[in-house]
Structure 1
Amino acid sequence: MSEPDRLPPGFTVKLGTWTHRCTDGRTLYGDAGTLLRLRPAAVDRIDGDGVVRVGDATSATLARVLLDRGMAEPMWDDAPGVAGLDDITLVIPVRDRADGVDRLLAQCGGVRAIVVDDGSREPDELRAVCDHYGARVVRHEQSRGPSAARNSGLALVRTDLVAFVDSDIVLGAGDLVELRRHFADPRVGLVAPRILGLVEDGGVLHRYEAACSSLDLGDQPALVRPHARVSYVPSAMMLARKAALGNGFDEAMQVAEDVDLVWRLSRDWAIRYEPAVRVRHEHRTRLREWFGRKLLYGTGAAPLAARHGRAVAPVVLTPWTAAVTAGLLAQRRWSPVLIGGSTVALWFSLRRRFGFAEDPSGSATALTKVAMRSTLEQAGAVVTRHYAPVTLALLPFSARARRAYAVSAVVAGLVDYRRTRPTLDPVRFVGLRTLDDLAYGLGVWKGVIDARSPGALIPLVRSGLRSASTADGR
């Protein structure tokens, strides 16, 4: 581990709830199939609660490995301090939302702010708000889009950290203080909070978005990277090191520019999602606007594929997941044999890999369950989301397609219903979730057709689970 990446003394991490520890105490595996075998000295640095506190070279190396593998999360024993925020500048891109800027600046009093007016039709009203709070205003006479607006603000930032905040976000200075703690890790380049709806108990779409917004990435912290449990964070609110951002957002992208930025940064920096910090967002709750926004998100897959290749692949296939998915979708008499046989083969393969463990059979069983759940979720998304236009085209002609679509939509919807517990009845929730997936899938295909490139629809093929590695414990 290089000296610039070393975690400071006292920095503490905890094994994530998604990280499983085998009975031998030495072997860990994550939800993405990553295996890690610890040396005895490293095992001694993990306490009974799965906590590692940096105090020497061994604990520093172990904590770094766990963070970099996405197996642990940073933790703090006390509340954040009340020190000033002189090292943070807000960059707020806006067009015709002076009221939102007013609310945001009022709640972030004392924080340096740059407001980029991206072609507002009433610029005087916005300027009056900014003058009231002492915020700097930069104006684009013609709208150039949110990426260009953020970059115009970024070019004027002189602090170490920059917070990109949309005008429809509600947050306070305390949220920035909590997010800033992540930068005690010298590898962290960007961190983002959980984004919840501003109104949770309004109409049907209010209640659905409160549970399943595209901006809400769940209640579990994560290391953000392609094909991970959390693969992106939205630019509606993110805090970043200015030194990590380079030239900022790709102004040629009108959608998915935040995903592009995060993936570019993740090559050299750690990107973290911190759901303990919660900010609010004014969601779109008119059906036509809502559906159009979901469709627009889908169109971003094609330009992402052009820039990042297989990172945007809608499906990740190993020999086992391919066999199970084929069996599920084929719905033939031989399907149970294919699924069962391939699962048994996977179990024996995992048991051999866990041969060094105290209970290799138990470890193989636990990991097989994790893999099966992930594969079932992916198979459902194939039918109802990424390849939904193909499924819909087959519905009039194929009973199997109708069964696959109905079962996938209902099961996925009910699983999400149980997980999110929305203030909405199951029927309307499942219906809206199915419509949500359909809009995104239509957007993906629209983007592919417009780009004349199928890259966003091509699966990523892997040989199997990631190889085990060993954490330094000398």
Structure 2
Amino acid sequence: MALRTRRHGAATGAPDGSRRRRLPMRLLLPVLVLVALMAMLMLRGYVHNEILADHRIQPEAASDRVPEKILDGGPVIDTRGGRTGSLRVPDHRLVLTFDDGPDPTWTPKVLDVLKKHHAHAVFFVTGSMTSRYPELVKRMVDEGHEVGLHTFNHPDLSYQSKKRIDWELSQNQLAITGAAGVRTSLFRPPYSSFADAMDNKSWPVTEYIGSRGYITVVNNTDSEDWKKPGVDEIIRRATPHGGKGAIVLMHDSGGDRHQTVQALDRFLPELQERGYRFDNLTEALGAPSALTPVAGADLWKGKAWVLLVRAADDITGVLVVGLAVTGTLVIGRFVLMLLLSGVHARRVRRKNFSWGPPVTEPVSVLVPAYNEAKCIENTVRSLMASEHPIEVIVVDDGSTDGTARIVEAMGLPNVRVVRQLNAGKPAALNRGLANARHDLVVMMDGDTVFEPATVRELVQPFGDPRVGAVAGNAKVGNRDSLIGAWQHIEYVMGFNLDRRMYDILRCMPTIPGAVGAFRRSALEPIGGMSDDTLAEDTDVTMALHRNGWRVVYAENARAWTEAPESVQQLWSQRYRWSYGTMQAIWKHRRALVERGPSGRFGRVGLPFVSLFMVVAPLLAPLIDVFLLYGLIFGPTQKTVVAWLGVLAIQAVCAAYAFRLDRERMTHLISLPLQQILYRQLMYVVLLQSWITALTGGRLRWQKLRRTGAVEAPGGPVPRQRTRSSSDRRPVA
């Protein structure tokens, strides 16, 4: 897996035209993968009689338009070339016919019994079963049996149009060709009976089938083995009277056929001793074989069809396993979140809970800023209202919109501006670290607003000397729009509930860039903030774990951030997050085999992050794919109930998360729509991230457009007195 990145500063060198050329590809690849999976699922549904299946059966009708010689004739009906005739099997000749196969369990047993007693038969196979088990049809032909068409999906053809009949025949023939390399001229309609049961509904179908070059084969002896009447009764019903020949109807599929197999093993030797021969149809009639070898393009089309069906079955099998894995992961994660987040809340809210001695020492707050002119004033003024002693260092990372000048013009005490050429957020944070005066360092984004108590709450866990970093509680400030409300739900439920769980498990994967605190003494040994990945916050958190530091969550350290307000911006942000997380996991993969205190993250944290943040979200679309499939093709009611059950579980988790965070429940009204629309976008983003990672693609930092509309609860921070220009010198 090649995982590479470029700094956001390099984005300025990309011409607009090249970005436009890349845009379709990033959408095309994920969409193609999803379309291919859906196509495989549709093919599997068609072959398994879940799509285009028609289970209607025509009731008996009048037979006054059926020729008498057909009603009184034999079970082999020939209407080819305008003929109207029928044939009977000669005396002491039995043609065993088996319908509805091949079946992977019972057909081999039937073939074994036939081979044991040197008997031949005719198997009227459906295209759907032949496509799934082609090796059994090939075995039939190789062992001297004949095969005939029994349609593809087993519908009653008297209900079908000529176009549908042609489709059933051609697809059935295609499957047989792909399986055994032959074509057949034999046909048996589904739900057929004796010749004298032909009526005004089925006779036109028989005539049409003949016009297509097929001989219709019904039966004149029915074992009724599908009723499972017992071995003796099956033998009795299958035995003709007076040494007459017969076409005997049996089944090698459609259910439990152990009675058929047992009856066959007795029936064959008993009637052979009575002088009967068991031949295939053309042997019994002394006619040329009904099977014709196929070569050239038709053969390869058949083989391609069988290959596609096999691939669809295999892929669908994998998808079903993936769905089971996804369901297990999703439910397991929900259970863990509900249990452990409750434990976390009860622990930190106890009256006697303490991280250690109160932390009152001053803190350095680092604000990396790149073109944050619309937000930076709100950000800095919110810090000036802090209840904890702080110094503020705004690192201007080569902004072109006057961000640094805005901060300098504010003339606020304990606020310094550090300018540097554009080098990316990690470099800006490291520059801030180099200029910080204090050991405790808070990092935030240039578009984020702190509450007065945020810094104080954020640094209290440092009373425990084992704590190296603290994650704060990031909140969506612009939650009034629909896309903002969806992100608000995600932040409260997906991020903060997760952080409570990971805190208890002692494997917090990410300190949010919007609100996090670090010991400088913990950062320096690992080289500060790394630019190896696009998720520098996840990267540094994993590095701290590997160095033996604890990383915890401070629920009351609230920060209000401006979430993306358009699909394009949201896509860019989440694409970077997803890809950066994969990079960080790959970078710290050796943690899996490390021992000692630092090995806990590798044994617990890294597998959890990989499963819950990468694998499970990647597989989660299967839930919606199968939902869509079930709604369209059934079972619709069970599908809806199952989906509503999953939604109910998510709603419970979301409501619990909102209760823990003391948030209003009104935003949860949009939860069902979020599950239908918002999640799909996240799926495609993650899939694109996987494709980028596996192909070694490069991803640029992408600057999101901000509005500066986010303020801390309670309104804007009051403006401070402007200091003289002599006090507003930028730090070099």
TM-score, normalization: structure 1?
0.56
Aligned to 2:308: none
Aligned to 1:248: 528
**Equivalence map 1:292-371=2 (5 Å):** 292-309=572-589
CA distance in 1, matches of 2:612, 2:363: 43
**TM-aligned CA deviation for residue 390 of structure 1:** 8.6
Aligned to 2:689: 444
**TM-aligned CA deviation for residue 443 of structure 1:** 3.8
The question of whether the paired residues in 2 share the 8 Å contact of 1:291 and 1:439 is answered with: no
Aligned to 1:137: 417
CA distance in 2, matches of 1:71, 1:171: 25
**TM-aligned CA deviation for residue 389 of structure 1:** 8.0
Aligned to 1:153: 432
The question of whether the paired residues in 2 share the 8 Å contact of 1:249 and 1:257 is answered with: yes
Query: Match for 2:574: what amino acid?
Result: K
* CA RMSD, Structure 1 to Structure 2 (Å): 4.6
Kindly indicate whether residue 180 of structure 2 is the aligned counterpart of residue 180 of structure 1: no
The question of whether the paired residues in 1 share the 8 Å contact of 2:503 and 2:553 is answered with: no
Aligned to 1:58: none
The question of whether the paired residues in 2 share the 8 Å contact of 1:388 and 1:442 is answered with: no
Kindly indicate whether residue 488 of structure 2 is the aligned counterpart of residue 210 of structure 1: yes
SS of alignment partner, residue 587 of structure 2: helix
SS of alignment partner, residue 437 of structure 2: coil
Aligned to 2:672: 427
**TM-aligned CA deviation for residue 73 of structure 1:** 4.8
**TM-aligned CA deviation for residue 270 of structure 1:** 0.5
CA distance in 2, matches of 1:432, 1:407: 19
The question of whether the paired residues in 1 share the 8 Å contact of 2:506 and 2:552 is answered with: no
CA 1:430–1:151 in 2, change beyond 3 Å: closer, same or farther? same
**TM-aligned CA deviation for residue 220 of structure 1:** 7.6
Query: Match for 1:240: what amino acid?
Result: F
CA distance in 1, matches of 2:669, 2:438: 44
Paired positions, count: 322
Gaps of 5+ in 2: 1-334, 338-342, 593-607, 656-666, 698-732
CA distance in 2, matches of 1:168, 1:402: 48
Gaps of 5+ in 1: 1-29, 33-49, 51-66, 313-374, 453-474
Query: Match for 2:570: what amino acid?
Result: W
The question of whether the paired residues in 2 share the 8 Å contact of 1:219 and 1:275 is answered with: no
Bigger proportion of residues as strand: 1
**TM-aligned CA deviation for residue 114 of structure 1:** 0.9
CA distance in 2, matches of 1:414, 1:215: 14
**TM-aligned CA deviation for residue 281 of structure 1:** 0.9
**TM-aligned CA deviation for residue 392 of structure 1:** 9.3
CA 1:195–1:439 in 2, change beyond 3 Å: closer, same or farther? farther
Aligned to 2:221: none
Kindly indicate whether residue 390 of structure 2 is the aligned counterpart of residue 111 of structure 1: yes
CA distance in 1, matches of 2:668, 2:626: 34
**TM-aligned CA deviation for residue 379 of structure 1:** 9.5
Query: Match for 2:490: what amino acid?
Result: C
The one-character-per-residue Cα deviations of 1:83-122 (angstroms, maximum 9, x if unpaired) are 9965200110011213422212212226201111111113
CA distance in 2, matches of 1:397, 1:431: 14
The question of whether the paired residues in 2 share the 8 Å contact of 1:295 and 1:442 is answered with: no
Kindly indicate whether residue 443 of structure 2 is the aligned counterpart of residue 164 of structure 1: yes
The one-character-per-residue Cα deviations of 1:219-273 (angstroms, maximum 9, x if unpaired) are 58647479878532312210111100122111232x2211111011012111001
- Find 1:101's aligned residue among 358, 367, 376: 376
Query: Match for 2:467: what amino acid?
Result: V
CA distance in 1, matches of 2:463, 2:671: 43
SS of alignment partner, residue 93 of structure 1: strand
Aligned to 1:386: 618
Query: Match for 2:401: what amino acid?
Result: E
The question of whether the paired residues in 2 share the 8 Å contact of 1:386 and 1:444 is answered with: no
SS of alignment partner, residue 496 of structure 2: coil
- Find 1:239's aligned residue among 517, 542, 562: 517
CA distance in 1, matches of 2:613, 2:444: 34
**TM-aligned CA deviation for residue 218 of structure 1:** 2.4
Higher alpha-carbon deviation: 406-415 or 96-105: 406-415
Aligned to 2:223: none
**TM-aligned CA deviation for residue 199 of structure 1:** 2.6
Kindly indicate whether residue 472 of structure 2 is the aligned counterpart of residue 193 of structure 1: yes
Query: Match for 2:372: what amino acid?
Result: R
- Find 2:551's aligned residue among 262, 267, 271: 271
The one-character-per-residue Cα deviations of 1:144-169 (angstroms, maximum 9, x if unpaired) are 21111111111111201000011111
CA distance in 2, matches of 1:216, 1:117: 31
Query: Match for 2:376: what amino acid?
Result: V
The one-character-per-residue Cα deviations of 1:171-220 (angstroms, maximum 9, x if unpaired) are 134211122211111100111211111133x2211111111138962258
The question of whether the paired residues in 1 share the 8 Å contact of 2:367 and 2:445 is answered with: yes
**Equivalence map 1:59-74=2 (5 Å):** 73=348
Higher alpha-carbon deviation: 419-428 or 108-117: 419-428
The question of whether the paired residues in 2 share the 8 Å contact of 1:223 and 1:271 is answered with: no
Instruction: Give % identity.
Output: 20
Kindly indicate whether residue 365 of structure 2 is the aligned counterpart of residue 90 of structure 1: yes
The question of whether the paired residues in 2 share the 8 Å contact of 1:190 and 1:238 is answered with: yes
The one-character-per-residue Cα deviations of 1:36-82 (angstroms, maximum 9, x if unpaired) are xxxxxxxxxxxxxx9xxxxxxxxxxxxxxxx9xx99658554999xx
Bigger proportion of residues as helix: 2
Kindly indicate whether residue 490 of structure 2 is the aligned counterpart of residue 258 of structure 1: no
CA distance in 2, matches of 1:152, 1:276: 28
Q: Which structure has the larger Rg?
A: 2
CA distance in 1, matches of 2:455, 2:576: 29
The question of whether the paired residues in 2 share the 8 Å contact of 1:114 and 1:135 is answered with: yes
CA 1:406–1:231 in 2, change beyond 3 Å: closer, same or farther? farther
**TM-aligned CA deviation for residue 299 of structure 1:** 1.2
TM-score, normalization: structure 2?
0.38
CA 1:431–1:394 in 2, change beyond 3 Å: closer, same or farther? closer
SS of alignment partner, residue 108 of structure 1: helix
CA 1:222–1:121 in 2, change beyond 3 Å: closer, same or farther? same
Query: Match for 1:445: what amino acid?
Result: W
CA distance in 2, matches of 1:293, 1:409: 29
CA distance in 2, matches of 1:31, 1:396: 28
CA distance in 2, matches of 1:287, 1:307: 30
CA 1:270–1:290 in 2, change beyond 3 Å: closer, same or farther? same
CA 1:161–1:381 in 2, change beyond 3 Å: closer, same or farther? closer
Query: Match for 2:677: what amino acid?
Result: L
